[in-house]
Structure 1
C-alpha cells in the first residue's frame, strides 16, 4: 500500500489500546486504507506501538495517545486542520466519540454517533469476535474490510532463537496470567522431548521471566529479559516452532505471522478474542461464566487448565525434536550467567 503525500486530507483512527487490540484491528485498518487511498491514515495509539502499527502497511503516521487505566486519551495535540474523517475503533461509548468530535472532523464514524449519510449507527454486539466487530462496523458505512486480512509481512530482523518454542508467561492483568510454575513445567517437559525453549516477557516482567526460567532450568541464552523491541519480538515469533502464552498480545502476533500457537483463555472465551479456526492454533478454555479480563487475581477458569493439557496441545503442533538429555547445571564463569539458578518453590 502506497503512502499518501503529506498534504493529503487525513483520516484519524482512534484505537489507543494494546498490541493485541492493534493486531485484531488490522483487518479494519486495511479496510480504511483501501477506502481512502488518497488520504493519509493517522492512527492514534500508544507511541510504544509505532513500529508495530507501521508494520501493518495500513497506517501512514502515528498520533501518540496513551489510554491510561483504560480511560480514553485526549487528542487535543492533533496538529493542523481538522481531520477529513474520524473513525472510532476504540470503543462504543460517548467518551471516545467525544474525543474525536472535539476535533471537528468533516465526518465522524462511531457507535455512539448518528451519521448524516447512513443514519443510525451500527449496533454494538457483546457476543461478536473483536475482528468481526470492527469489520461489520465499517461495513455499515460502505467500507469493506476482510476479517481474514490479518497477516503481517515477514520481519526483516533475525530471530534470537530460530525454531525454538517461545513461552510467554506474562499478561497485562493478573486475571489472564496462568501460574508461573505451570509454564515452567510445560517448558521442562518440552525440553525433555528435545525442543529448545525460550522464555520472554514485557519490559516490566523480568521477575516473572526469571521465575519461569529458573524453575525450568533454562540456560541463560534462552532467557529473553527486558522486553524485546517490536522488530526483534516479531522475528522471534515469526520464526518460532511454537508460541505458548495466555490471551495477550503475543498470541495475536503469532496469528499475524501464521505460526503455530497454544493460547490459554480464562475470563474471556476464545470465540470473542481467540485465533481464527485452523490446524495451526489451539485455544484452551474451560467453559464457564465470563470473568473480568482486568482482574487482579488469576481467573478461576484459567486455573482449571492443567500443565498436561498444554503440553499435549503443544506436542500436537510440534515436530519431534532431536533426542537429548538436558545439559547439567553449570557454574557461571568470568561473570557470565551460564544458567539461571532454579527459583524457590
Structure 2
C-alpha cells in the first residue's frame, strides 16, 4: 500500500488548523495509508479525524531524523509543520518519492510556494496543497463529538491559561466573568425554578496551570469541584464538546470549540485573529480583539489584550448563552481612540505567532 506521510509535530491548535488540509489529502489519495507524524498526546483527537489512518508519535523536530524514524519509505511526504529548513530535512530522511513543502533557499531543488507570514494558518496549507492540484475546503474544521461523556455536561468552561504570558488575560478578570455567570445561573434558578447546577461554571487547565485555575476559581467564589485541572486530552475534548460556552484566550481550547461547534468567546491579544481565529462564517464564535499587534512571546500580558474589558466579555457570553448571536467584533466595543472601530483590522504584515520558521 502506498503511504502518505504528513509532518505536523506541534500542538493542539496546530493539529486542528491542519484538519482541512488533512481531509484534502485523504480525498486526493484515497487508497494511500495516511500517516500523521505528530505528538502522541494528540491521539484522542487524531482518532476522531476521518482522514488519518496511523499516528506516528513524533514529539517535535529532529525526531524523524534522530528518534522515532519512519518504518517505511513514503510515496508522498507533506510538510505541514513549517517553512524549513529542519522540517524539510526531517522529511527528506524518510526518502520520499515526492515531497510537498514550501520553498526554502537551503533546498534549491525543491519547488513550492514562498512562505507568507500574513496568511491565516488554515489558508497557508490550502495554498500549499493547491499548488500541487489538491483543493482544500477551509470550512472543514469540524470534528465529531468524542464518545467519552463530559464530566460536567452543559458547563460554562473558563480556560484562563495560554502558552505565553502575552496571551493570558488577567486571572482577576476571568474570575469576574466566572463570578457573574455563576450569579446568572443562581438568579435563573431562583426566578424560573430550574434545577441548580444545570449550567455549572468550571475552570480548566493542564497540570502546570493548577495554581492559575485555582486562583480564578477562588476569586470567583467557586468550590474545588469547579476546578477541572489535569484532564487528558480526551477528557478536555469531552468537556468542550458538551459545554454551553467556552471563554478563553488565543489557545488550543478555542480551536477545540471551533471544531465541535461549541459557542465561544475568544480573547485575542498580540496575534491578529485573521491569522489564527475561527472562520468569520461561524457567528457562534465571537472574537474580541483591540486591533493592535504585539509580541506574542512577551513575558507580560499584551497591552492590547489588557484593553479587553470584563463587561465586553460578559455581554458576548450572555448573548450566546441565551441563544443569540452577537455581532462579530475585533474591537471589544471600544471607541476609536481606545482601540475601537477605525476601518482597520490590524496589520496583516506581521508573521503568525505560531508559524514555525523551521
- TM-score > 0.5, shorter chain as reference: yes
Cα drift, residue 53 of structure 1: 1.6
For 1:185 and 1:153, the matched residues in 2 are separated by 32
Superposition pairs of residues 212-251 of structure 1, within 5 angstroms: 212-226=216-230, 228-251=231-254
Which residue of structure 1 aligns with residue 80 of structure 2? 89
Cα drift, residue 145 of structure 1: 1.5
Q: 1:254 is matched with which residue: 228, 251, 257?
A: 257
Contact 1:266 1:286 (8 Å CA) reproduced: yes
For 1:33 and 1:177, the matched residues in 2 are separated by 36
Cα drift, residue 297 of structure 1: 1.8
Which residue of structure 2 aligns with residue 273 of structure 1? 276
In structure 1, stretches of 5+ residues that fail to align are 1-7, 321-345
Q: 1:16 is matched with which residue: 2, 9, 12?
A: 9
- Does 2:63 match 1:74? yes
Contact 1:164 1:198 (8 Å CA) reproduced: yes
For 1:119 and 1:173, the matched residues in 2 are separated by 34
Which residue of structure 1 aligns with residue 288 of structure 2? 284
Cα drift, residue 283 of structure 1: 0.3
The alignment's TM-score, normalised by the length of structure 1, stands at 0.84
Which residue of structure 2 aligns with residue 112 of structure 1? 103
For 2:138 and 2:73, the matched residues in 1 are separated by 30
Contact 2:150 2:239 (8 Å CA) reproduced: yes
Cα drift, residue 266 of structure 1: 0.6
- Does 2:34 match 1:41? yes
Cα drift, residue 137 of structure 1: 1.0
Cα drift, residue 119 of structure 1: 7.9
Which residue of structure 2 aligns with residue 163 of structure 1? 154
Which residue of structure 1 aligns with residue 267 of structure 2? 264
Which residue of structure 1 aligns with residue 330 of structure 2? none
Contact 2:144 2:260 (8 Å CA) reproduced: yes
What SS class does the counterpart of residue 167 from structure 1 fall into? strand
- Per-residue CA distance 1:151-208 (angstroms, 9 max, x = gap): 1012111111111110000111111111111100000011111152111001311111
Shift in CA distance, 83/120, structure 1 to aligned 2, threshold 3 Å: closer
Which residue of structure 2 aligns with residue 204 of structure 1? 208
What SS class does the counterpart of residue 316 from structure 1 fall into? helix
- Per-residue CA distance 1:259-285 (angstroms, 9 max, x = gap): 100000011011110011232011000
What SS class does the counterpart of residue 124 from structure 1 fall into? coil
- Per-residue CA distance 1:119-143 (angstroms, 9 max, x = gap): 8411322221111111121111011
- Does 2:158 match 1:154? no
User: Aligned pair count?
Assistant: 304
Q: 2:170 is matched with which residue: 158, 166, 179?
A: 179
What SS class does the counterpart of residue 314 from structure 2 fall into? helix
Cα drift, residue 233 of structure 1: 1.4
- Kindly report the root-mean-square deviation, in angstroms, between the aligned alpha carbons of the 2 structures: 1.7
Contact 1:97 1:112 (8 Å CA) reproduced: no
- Per-residue CA distance 1:68-126 (angstroms, 9 max, x = gap): xxxx3330332433211110001112221111112211001110269xxx984113222
What SS class does the counterpart of residue 95 from structure 2 fall into? coil
Cα drift, residue 15 of structure 1: 0.8
For 2:242 and 2:321, the matched residues in 1 are separated by 13
Which residue of structure 2 aligns with residue 296 of structure 1? 299
For 1:224 and 1:242, the matched residues in 2 are separated by 15
Contact 1:237 1:254 (8 Å CA) reproduced: yes
In structure 2, stretches of 5+ residues that fail to align are 186-198, 324-358
Superposition pairs of residues 139-150 of structure 1, within 5 angstroms: 139-150=130-141
